[in-house]
Homo-oligomer: A and B are copies of this chain.
Amino acid sequence: MAQATLSIDLAAICNNWRALDKLSAVETGACVKADAYGLGAPRVARALAQAGARSFFVALTEEGAALRQHLGDGIDIYVFSGHMKGDTDMIGDLGLIPLINSVDQMLRHVEALPGAPFGIQLDSGMNRLGMEPGEWAAVRDIALSQGPRLVMSHLACADEPNHAMNAMQHRAFSEMIDGVNARRSLAATGGVLLGAPYHFDMTRPGIGLYGGMPFADAQPVVKLDIPIIQTRDIDIGESVGYGNAFIAQRPSRIATIGSGYADGILRAMGPKAALFCNDTRVPVAGRISMDLIGVDITDASEGADTLELLGHHQSVDTLAEWSGTIGYEILTSLGARYKRRYVGV
């Protein structure tokens, strides 16, 4: 078997959820969009529901519809993209809660599904999703008369606690919800860490559940072990992989392992990346290719069948740094060819 194994620790995800829950006095939801950041929404959401989560957040109505089959009724599933054209049947039949982003969406919802639950998304300055103050003023009375389940907004710079944008968005949100008698939410993981003024009535952490920054106390969640297909000894001056990008500076032992960028191991991380052979750090040799990676295991002792890319030695944030990106993208890129093992259940 040249297929790599991705282990996903559901107990760690639940522990991270409980740890984030303890940081506020309000309800803690769970963001499971993008297939729970690549880790598998059905298993992750079921585990979190068992741990006590009652409100889940997804990006697309299609994601919400799939999730409903796994969570059953009695759980709130909010959809960030709101009520789009063509979504009415799924929203109505499966009891999803669209977060209404515009006047158009508001009218579509109350006309197509009068009395059906919904939330309101407000733009507090990020200019990405949600109603502007002007739009909100125009539909506020209609919206509030229908009893929204939640009124929420999203922070653009919550991972930088001292950024002036945080207080600015807090002020803008507070002004827009002044006098609103509905549950309110502003904080994702970064917002939870900003403290009580940002918590309102519900938080909705995502990345912190999955072991990524900015929640530094998160337990690691993923482990990725990649099988060695073969090893070879090469002489000084011999090259490895595409474009001859690695040239041996010493007699070297090279392992070829069975994953690559088609498995979400971003090609950009190649020059800086390393794996672990038991407890020895072994650097990538040459370019990451589609299904294969050359690794310089000269310094490792013999005997391993697999090398570890993710685990206790290095996290999604380590890989993100090599790639010039963020841990979120490392997670959501984790590919479909891995054998996935859920542990801690």
Interface of A is mostly: loop
Task: Contact check, A232 vs B290: say whether CB atoms are below 8 A apart.
Answer: no
Within the assembled complex, what's the spacing in Å between the Cα atoms of A238 and B337? 42
Question: Is A201 on the interface with B (CB-CB < 8 A)?
Answer: no
Known: A63-B337, A328-B290. A256 touches B128 (CB 8 A): yes
Would B61 and A127 count as touching, CB distance under 8 A? no
* Contact between B34 and A267, CB atoms less than 8 A apart: no
**Are the C-beta atoms of B157 and A1 separated by less than 8 Å?**
no
The one of B85, B290, B305, B332 in contact with A33, judged by C-beta atoms closer than 8 angstroms, is B290
Given A127-B254, A129-B292, A292-B128, CB of A229 within 8 Å of CB of B329: no
Other-chain contact of A102, B84, B86, B230, B244 (Cβ < 8 Å): B230
The contact size tier of chain A is: 35 or more
The reply to whether B291 and A3 contact each other, CB–CB distance below 8 Å, is no
The one of B84, B305, B329, B333 that contacts A1, using a Cβ cutoff of 8 Å: B84
Query: Is A117's CB within 8 Å of the partner chain B?
Result: no
Whether A230 lies near B101 (C-beta < 8 A) is yes
A267–B128 Cα distance when bound, in Å, is: 16
Q: What 1/0 mask marks residues of chain A from 59 to 96 whose CB sits below 8 Å from any chain B CB?
A: 11111000000000000000011101111000000000
Q: How would residues 220 to 264 of chain A score, 1 for a CB under 8 Å from any chain B CB and 0 otherwise?
A: 000000010110101000111111100000000010101001101
A132 at the interface (CB under 8 A from B): yes
Given contacts A129-B230, A157-B243, 15 further A-B contacts (CB under 8 A): A2-B59, A2-B87, A37-B290, A60-B258, A60-B337, A81-B229, A82-B229, A123-B232, A125-B238, A165-B244, A261-B328, A261-B332, A264-B333, A266-B329, A333-B333
A residues near B, CB below 8 A?
Answer: 1-3, 33-35, 37-38, 59-63, 80-82, 84-87, 101-102, 104-105, 123, 125-129, 132, 156-157, 160, 165, 227, 229-230, 232, 234, 238-244, 254, 256, 258, 261-262, 264, 266-268, 289-292, 294, 305, 323-326, 328-329, 332-333, 336-337
- 26 A-B pairs within 8 Å (CB atoms) are namely A1-B62, A1-B84, A1-B86, A2-B59, A2-B60, A2-B61, A2-B87, A35-B337, A60-B258, A80-B291, A81-B258, A82-B230, A84-B229, A105-B230, A126-B241, A127-B240, A127-B254, A128-B240, A128-B289, A132-B232, A160-B243, A261-B332, A264-B333, A268-B268, A290-B329, A333-B333
